[in-house]
Structure 1
């Protein structure tokens, strides 16, 4: 998974061309527990790095999902609305939240790679 980048807020992003797929990490999912509701952004919504883009609710808490980069939402994962538990089953794969057209690829340089994210998470324990 070398193509993934991470935020310190526990979002992951995978860039393919100008389109980034965004979700929450396995660590975030584990902290949340059983996910019961997901609110996705509208297609066409402009998002800013570090600002609210979506919401995920579990039996424990509700959490914001922040945009890892500036851009515009091009697609949402409608499967999550019907089955939010997908986030628990496959947070780093089938349970992606949204795709976005990236406005500034240079922002990727400020995100963590896998090794840096793993070290960051270990420091939280």
Structure 2
């Protein structure tokens, strides 16, 4: 069974979002998504300074099975990317909510409000059951 953490926002496309500051949102893919994809071998992410739009593709994730788009749960400017994924993309499998986070987006809005507007843990759980 997949781990679904309380306090995160979730998307229909299986990304999670965490308010990481007043205007910063940290993003990754869910435990469910990494199980579905299998062994992750490559993650392509935007560069810091790039603008991303909510609901739009922002990169790709490649596993031994397939290549899938990653979608932005919120819009804004990429503030940070998880550089560790360049050498260790398997962190997405082993630590999807911790060491396998993907990027942080700086938004103009309140990060907590943006995350709260996404699916909560219960709604996401119903979505994947």
TM over 0.5: yes
Q: Is the 1:73–1:101 contact (alpha carbons within 8 Å) kept by the matching residues of 2?
A: yes
SS of structure 2 residue aligned to 1:30 = helix
* Structure 2: gaps spanning 5 or more residues: none
The aligned counterpart of 2:40 is 35
The aligned counterpart of 2:119 is 112
Q: Is the 1:70–1:104 contact (alpha carbons within 8 Å) kept by the matching residues of 2?
A: no
The aligned counterpart of 1:12 is 16
Of the candidates 27, 37, 40, which is equivalent to residue 22 of structure 1? 27
RMSD over aligned CA atoms reads 1.3
How far did 1:109 drift? 4.5
Query: Cα deviations across residues 55-90 of structure 1 (Å, max 9, x unaligned)?
Result: 100000001110000111000001001111111111
Q: How many aligned residue pairs are there?
A: 122
The aligned counterpart of 1:44 is 49
TM-score by length of 1: 0.92
The aligned counterpart of 2:68 is 63
